[in-house]
Amino acid sequence: MDNLNEQLKALGLRGIADGLDDIIAHGTKNRLGPRQLIEHLTEIEAKERVRKSLERRLSQSRIGRFKTMADFDWAWPKKIDREQVEAALNLEFLEKNKNVVLVASQGLGKTMLARNICHQAVLRGHSALFVTASQLLLDLSSQDSGRSLERRLRHYQHPAILCIDEVGYLSYDNRNADLLFQIVSRRYENKSLILTTNLTFSDWPTIFPNAACTTALIDRVVHHSEIIVIDGDSYRRRDAEDDKKRSKPKTPPKK
């Protein structure tokens, strides 16, 4: 039995190998014929491969921990197009390699929405990668040779969805602008981008103050994009104020 288990693993049939004892017991108890047994084995292995594939894509996506849409308070923002957000969550943009740009000030849930969109893509069998703008540009700018840079550019070019979070929170030099432009250009009309930003596009030149490619970068991001604008007050500020009110000691009644 041990030898059979090892042979199954060597053939890549880990789902069958891991459940071998149960499979034999099930086949014996239900008196499965050869065809039924093979169908049962195939079903077990297929389910295991689907599970492993999902596990691998989730790990590679680097989405991290996030609140689900069940926790999103649609009534709080002063402005949000719920139909547009739900279309993005249904991955309608992905069919035509379009982009999604979430524009909002801090604390309005744009990163939460971006993570949920990426998660939906992974659940439906697509590859995704979540990274902040600073992480992305630090990674690319730290490459010490043309070959290593090309390898990292292909890494960010490959996923079906690349989510670049927090564009606009820091300013970057010309080299970083050129690197981001390369990523956007390589994916343009081929693969989808999700970007979150706290700035309108008219303010993007402040991110790359001296870069000649800023206009071309914006053009490629905006073209074929679903732009979702969220306006209102910060969730985090509201939650902090609520916590403060709850923790404030009550004044005892005067005698």
Cβ neighbors of 79 (< 8 A, separation 6 or more) are: 229, 230, 231, 232
Q: What is the dihedral of CA 103, 106, 110, 115, to 10 degrees?
A: 140
Helix (H, G, I), strand (E, B) or coil at 161: strand
The type of residue at 83 is: E
Q: Which domains does the chain have, with CATH numbers?
A: 2-61 (no CATH), 69-238 (3.40.50.300)
Helix (H, G, I), strand (E, B) or coil at 3: helix
Q: Give the model's pLDDT for residue 249.
A: 63
Confirm if 159 and 127 have CB atoms less than 8 A apart: yes
Q: What is the 3-state secondary structure (H, E, C) of 14-80?
A: HHHHHCHHHHHHHHHHCCCCHHHHHHHHHHHHHHHHHHHHHHHHHHHHCCCCCCCHHHCCCCCCCEC
Cβ neighbors of 240 (< 8 A, separation 6 or more) are: none
Mean pLDDT by 10 residues, the chain (255 residues): 78 82 83 86 87 91 93 92 96 94 92 96 96 96 94 96 93 91 94 94 87 88 94 73 59 59
Half-sphere exposure at residue 192, Cβ-oriented, CA atoms within 13 angstroms: 26
Q: How far is Cα 63 from Cα 52, in angstroms, rounded to an integer?
A: 17
Q: Give the model's pLDDT for residue 239.
A: 57
Confirm if 230 and 80 have CB atoms less than 8 A apart: yes
- The whole-model pTM stands at 0.81
Q: How far is Cα 111 from Cα 79, in angstroms, rounded to an integer?
A: 17
**∠ Cα 216 222 228 (to 5°):** 150
**∠ Cα 117 112 228 (to 5°):** 70
